Amino acid sequence: MSTKDFQTRSPIRIFLSYFKNHKKLFIIDIFCACLIAGIDLAFPLVTRSALYDLLPNNLYTTFFIIIAAMVVFYLLRSVLQFIVAYYGHTFGIRVEADIRADLFRHIQTLGFDFYDRNRTGQLMSRLTSDLFELTELAHHGPEDLLTSGLTVIGALVVMAFIRWELALVVGLMIPIFLVVIMLTRRGMGKASKAVKEKTGHINTEIESSLSGIRTAKAFANEEAETERFDRANAQYKVSKRQFHKAMGRFHSSMEFWLCSLNVAVIGVGGLFIMNGKMDYRDLITFTLYISSFINPMRKLANFSELFANGFAGLHRFVDLMATEPTLQDKEDAKTLQDVQGAISVQEVSFAYNGDLDVLHNVSLTVQPGETVAIVGPSGGGKTTLCQLIPRFYEVSGGSISIDGLDIRDVTQKSLHENIGIVQQDVFLFADTILENIRYGKPDATEEEVIAAAKKAEIYDDILAMPNGFGTYVGERGTLLSGGQKQRVAIARIFLKNPPILILDEATSALDSVTEAKIQKAFDNLAKGRTTLIIAHRLSTIRSASRIISIADGVIAESGTHQDLLTKGGIYADLYNTQNTR
């Protein structure tokens, strides 16, 4: 389904659409559940027949044959119950897995601005705990609704043939019961939604605290982190308490009405017996039928609780799936091919979230194969400009072109495939070094990975590790040094081998000796490629054919190293500061 479908279709219709791929399992589940309901309906009739015909007429052989048959049917019922429990939950899990897969794929399409606004813990909650409730709803919802409905209706029909007046009393009480249940369910639905929001909040706090545990320890702020967690935990407890209050009202109301059914049947049935209008055996049959559909009635009531929890998760799922990516490919978007690397930035302006502009009418032309260094004070707009070129964000004004094609007219996938980025903040996955380097080219051979590692000056370090390329790097690469993490990220780019390179402080974590080694590799990699180098350490940009200085969102100066030193502007100040330390 498209994002538009999630915006226009009802949540129930969206939910049921996930049943299609697993309809065989669904049919097996429902069919077996219906057979169980049929067996449950048969028992009171067999009991009535025994009381009216078999035992009074001394038909003991027939009686024991029927009892044996009921044992066989109950053995069958236990097998059917296993099928319902096993295949029903399998069906629910498959539906949940499909929903989670769609949600994850959709999240992947959302832009940087979405992740700027949403925290990881909230998204984790939507991908995990919210969807668990949908599993239960997918399995038990239709099954309980159908089988309970059939059992209740079937029992009422049989009771009506025995004594319609008493069946009418029961029939009139059921709608009242359902109305009470629906009214109490509303409060539980609101409480369930609040619990899910607080669960997402506490997940966010946990994720944030665990990610920053080293910082917390470094500042001896464990108590502050505990206090922050306790506040979130307290809010969760309050929301859970409200949910449990609503659930308590729900269950107490349900149990009262279910017990009242038995009282009403015994009371009215006893009155009929006193007046000679009913036999005690019919009353026993009635009470057996009341017992047989007490459980279905309880299931119907519990379905309301299940529906409240599941629907809260479903709404949160649909809301996220209905979120349009800010950046989308045009319908006729071209695939960027045979890239030469000409970059043209024409009067580009940009503001995060529409607030204060970060860039103001910036224009820049980079020739194919040219290496351009971008320098300037922090916050001047260097990184922002380089994030606009791969279209991580949309320009507020102006345009950016690659080989004469506006980047808004090409597919984002092909754009990203042709641009390699090494950022200052390196992210490594919790996997082996081999797989982290191979991330630059997922189908790369081990030989290609080794070659990339050698170019990135990380090969000798890897061989010195206990498991070589199979060494586990830890969460976000915490088991490696800062320089090693950065060189693994650089090896990815060597492996990807893109025609356009963006190096955002790519050597900032390297010591001077390692930086000198890898600079030669960078120089070799940059040959024949368009390269943009963002740098504070000016020693890393000596190979640049041109240097531009950005300050306060505008290009303040442009030229060669010697030209800018002669001008005595921003670059000269930076250079002189670094060389007089």
pLDDT bracket for residue 440 (50, 70, 90): confident
pLDDT digits (tens, 9 = 90+) for 210-229: 666 655 655 566 677 777 77
pLDDT at position 18: 86
Average pLDDT in the chain:
79
pLDDT at position 212: 63
Residues β-bridged to residue 533: 373, 503
What average pLDDT score do residues 426-454 get?
Answer: 86
pLDDT at position 210: 61
pLDDT at position 240: 72
pLDDT bracket for residue 514 (50, 70, 90): low
pLDDT digits (tens, 9 = 90+) for 21-30: 888 888 888 8
The answer to whether residue 31 scores a pLDDT higher than 80 is: yes
- Who has greater pLDDT, 368 or 2? 368
- Between the alpha carbon of residue 448 and those of residues 122, 431, 568, the distances in Å are 38, 18, 45
pLDDT bracket for residue 269 (50, 70, 90): confident
- Please report, to the nearest 10 degrees, the dihedral formed by the alpha carbons of residues 450, 451, 457, 462 taken in order: 10
User: Rounded CA gap, 241 and 305, in Å?
Assistant: 16
pLDDT at position 219: 56
| CA-based R_g, the chain, Å | 35
User: Rounded CA gap, 139 and 15, in Å?
Assistant: 12
pLDDT at position 281: 75
What values do phi and psi take at 327, rounded to 5?
-105, 120
Q: Domains of the chain, with CATH numbers?
A: 3-321 (1.20.1560.10), 343-579 (3.40.50.300)
pTM (predicted TM-score): 0.71
